[in-house]
Amino acid sequence: MADGCFRVVQLSDLHLTVDDREARSEPRLFGRLTGMNAAFRRLLANSVVQAADLVLVTGDITDRGDPLAWRVFWEGLAAAGVRERTRVIPGNHDVCCLGVRPAASRGKRVAEDLAKLRAGLGQVGHAVESPRAEVLAGGRVVLLGLDSSNPGNVSALTNAVGELGMPQLERLARLLRQHRDVPVKIVALHHSPNIPRAATARRRGLEVLDGLMRWGHEVPAADRRALRLLCVSHGVRLIVHGHLHRFEDRHVNGARIVGAPASTEPVAVDGRRGLPLVRYTLTPRNQVRVERLVV
């Protein structure tokens, strides 16, 4: 931060596996992505990540919530020298249910999923509670993390559905009030708080998701409206998320929402192929620049 700028690099949807050769879980039989672990290590070695003041990972760190995949993550960060600068927001794959389990005893399922998440985050003592707030950049930024991972889901069909809940949103409101004097507020979660309908998606040049896909990948209507209202009323500068495996930057009802692509999935942008990430640069005047980069 020698130039007075504070830089945040957002990675998302790493889908790390126990074995480097294992394929990513996807709803198709052929053409599933492999090589996520190796791609993750390449990302960490890149100068953009190395120069970041904060590395923010917005969910689906692991593909199936396996403790050994979490170890791949934490050991990779340590080897690259960025573990202390990394903060994690959980995703649905981190409390994974890709099969089918009984609909009864939701409380037991939730407890088991949260225990799995604590085991992964607890390997290095990372915070588990949500929402949580952390003041950064000498008091100029507060990062507020939410958990939308939907623990206790019953099948692969509902695994991807996001959930915040009123108790978490009420606690977020208190944190926003507590940090009202921090100039730049950033709210981070895994699921999208807004997936556009067909006409809007076409206008933005995005893949059109039908109603079923939107239901399965978006925070429920009451939660997302309450979240956006809280963010607008408390002057939140950015809402950032992952989950959709694509880059988005849009304004919805006065809130700027940025979605990060799957960082271990190679993409081609402007003729250049590489691994995607998003960088946020806070200037000395507390302006925020958003960049989509391929490294």
Please check the confidence at residue 138 and state whether its pLDDT lies above 80. yes
Number of domains in the chain: 1
Domain-embedded: residue 133: yes
Closest CA to 185 of 226, 144, 147, 145: 144
User: pLDDT of 149-159, one tens digit each?
Assistant: 988 888 877 88
Residue 230 to residue 216: CA distance in whole angstroms: 23
Strand-pair partners of 133:
144
Please check the confidence at residue 27 and state whether its pLDDT lies above 80. no
Please check the confidence at residue 54 and state whether its pLDDT lies above 90. yes
Residue 224 to residue 74: CA distance in whole angstroms: 31
Please check the confidence at residue 29 and state whether its pLDDT lies above 70. no
| Beta-carbon count within 10 A of 130 CB | 18
Domain-embedded: residue 63: yes
Interval 114-131 mean pLDDT: 91
Give the contacts of 54 (CB within 8 A, at least 6 positions apart): 6, 7, 8, 9, 85, 86, 87, 136, 143
Q: Which domain holds residue 123?
A: 6-294
6 — pLDDT class (breaks 50, 70, 90): very high
First-to-last C-alpha distance (Å) of the chain: 21
Residue 219 to residue 291: CA distance in whole angstroms: 25
Q: Is 270 exposed, middle or buried (0-12, 13-18, 19+ CB in 10 A)?
A: exposed
Phi and psi dihedrals of 232, rounded to 5?
-70, -45
Residue 16 to residue 179: CA distance in whole angstroms: 34
Domain-embedded: residue 156: yes
64 — pLDDT class (breaks 50, 70, 90): very high
288-294 and 238-241 as β-strands: parallel, antiparallel, unpaired? unpaired
At residue 286, the pLDDT reads 93
Domain-embedded: residue 166: yes
CA atoms within 13 A on the CB side of 109: 17
Which residue carries 């917005």 as its tokens? 58
219 — pLDDT class (breaks 50, 70, 90): confident
Domain-embedded: residue 104: yes
- Please state which of the ranges 37-41, 43-47, 52-56, 99-103 shows the lowest mean pLDDT: 99-103
Look at 102 and 115; give whichever has higher pLDDT.
115
Q: Where are the alpha helices (DSSP H) in the chain?
A: 36-45, 47-50, 67-80, 106-121, 156-159, 166-178, 198-204, 211-217, 221-233
CA atoms within 13 A on the CB side of 250: 19
Strand-pair partners of 143:
134, 186
The reply to whether the predicted model has a pTM over 0.75 is yes
Domain-embedded: residue 125: yes
At residue 105, the pLDDT reads 81
Interval 199-205 mean pLDDT: 84
Domain-embedded: residue 260: yes
At residue 160, the pLDDT reads 85
Domain-embedded: residue 1: no
User: pLDDT of 158-197, one tens digit each?
Assistant: 888 899 999 999 999 999 999 999 999 999 999 999 888 8
Closest CA to 189 of 10, 59, 53: 59
Residue 19 to residue 35: CA distance in whole angstroms: 9
CATH of the domain at 265: 3.60.21.10
Count of all residues that appear for the chain in the document: 295
